[in-house]
Amino acid sequence: METFTKIEAKNFCAYYNNKIALKNINIKIYSNKITAIIGPSGCGKSTFLRSLNRMNDLIENFSTSGELLVDNVNIYAKDTDIISLRKKVGMVFQKPNPFPKSIFENIAYGLRIHKMFKNYDELYMKVENSLKEAALWDEVKDDLNKSAFDLSGGQQQRLCIARALVIKPEIILMDEPTASLDPISTAKIEELIRKLKEHYTIVIVTHNMQQAARVSDYSTFFMQGEMIEYDETTKIFTAPSNKLTEE
C-alpha cells in the first residue's frame, strides 16, 4: 500500500501559561502506519497527541507556535473547522469512557450527531459494522440494549474504539489505551490496532516499551518536550542513534 505524509509538525511548540511543553517538534507521520510516542512521564507525549485534534483548546492558557499539518493543511490556521477536524482525527483515551447509555447507543451517538444515516436499517448496519471492525460484535450482539457499563474494561475500550471508528475518521489517536487493562485484554487491543492500520493512520502514546516494539512501525522518543529520536521501530529498538534513547 502506498504511504504518504499524513501529519507533519514544523517547528511546533506548545505552551501552558507561557511555559514551554513542546519545543520545536519536527516530524512527518505516515499514513496507514502505527507511530508510537514513547518517553518518560511529563515529557509532552499527551500534549503532542492532544494537539493533533486540538483537544488542548479546551485548556485555558494553552498556546502554540509553528505549524501542525494534517493532509498538508495547518490545523492551527484561523479558519480551521474544529468539528470536521475532530471527525477526521478520532481519539481513544487511557481509561475507557463509554457514555452512560446502551452499547448500541454508544455507537449510534456519533452517527446521530453527524447525521450519517437515512433510516434505522442503515443506522443498525453501521453500528454492527463498527462493532465488527473493533472485534467486539460477537461478544455483544445479543446484548446491544444493555448498559455499556456492564462490559469488562477491555470490552469497554473496544467499544470506545468502535465509537471512534463509526464516524469514519482517517487518523486515530490513542493515549495509553491499554494502561488500565489486564494482559489478555491488552493483547486483544494490540491485535486490533495492528489490523486497523490497513484503513487508518494511528498514533499511539505508550509508556510500555514492549508495546511500542510489538505494535508500531515507527517510534519517536520524547524527553522534556523535545523529540530526541524518530525512526523505524526496529531501528530504534536495536540501534538507537541517540545515547538518551538507548538508556
Binding site for ligand ADP (CB under 6 A): 16, 21, 39, 41-47, 59
44 binds, among Mg ion, ligand ADP, none (CB under 5 to 8 A by kind): ligand ADP
Instruction: Name, in order, each residue with C-beta under 8 angstroms of 193's C-beta and a sequence gap of 6 or more.
Output: 34, 174, 177, 202, 204, 215
For residue 57, the minimal CB distance to ligand ADP (Å) is: 12
Binding mask 35-54 for Mg ion (x = CB under 5 A): -----------x--------
Among ligand ADP, Mg ion, none, partner that 41 touches (CB below 5 to 8 angstroms by kind): ligand ADP
Least distance between ligand ADP and beta carbon 11 (Å): 18
**Which residue's C-alpha cell is 494502561?**
179
59 binds, among ligand ADP, Mg ion, none (CB under 5 to 8 A by kind): ligand ADP
Return the half-sphere exposure (C-beta side, CA atoms, 13 A cut-off) of residue 24: 1
Partner from ligand ADP, Mg ion, none contacting 42, C-beta within 5 to 8 A by type: ligand ADP
* Helix or strand (DSSP H, E) at 139: helix 137-140
Q: How far is the CB of 38 from Mg ion (least distance, A)?
A: 11
Q: Closest distance between Mg ion and the C-beta of residue 211, in Å?
A: 14
Question: Closest CB to ligand ADP among 135 and 209?
Answer: 209
- Provide the CA 31 distance to its chain's centre, in angstroms: 13
Q: Where are the beta strands (DSSP E) in 127-196?
A: 171-175
Q: How does DSSP classify residue 169?
A: -
In angstroms, what CA-CA distances link 35 with 120, 142, 151, 159, 175? 37, 35, 29, 22, 12
Dist CA 176 CA 75 (whole Å): 24
- Using CA atoms, how far apart are residues 204 and 49, in angstroms rounded to an integer? 8
Least distance to ligand ADP, CB of residue 41, Å: 4
- CB-nearer residue toward ligand ADP: 47 or 219: 47
Residue 119 contact partner, candidates Mg ion, ligand ADP, none, CB within 5 to 8 A by sort of partner? none
Q: Which of 44/98 has CB closer to ligand ADP? A: 44
Cα angle vertex 230, ends 232, 239, to 5°? 60
Closest to ligand ADP by CB, 41 vs 119, is 41
What are the E-state strand segments in the chain? 5-16, 19-30, 34-38, 62-70, 73-74, 89-92, 171-175, 201-205, 218-223, 226-232
How far apart are CB 194 and ligand ADP at their closest, in Å?
23
- Looking at the Cβ atoms of 130 and 219, the one nearer to ligand ADP is 219
Residues contributing to the site for Mg ion (CB under 5 A): 46
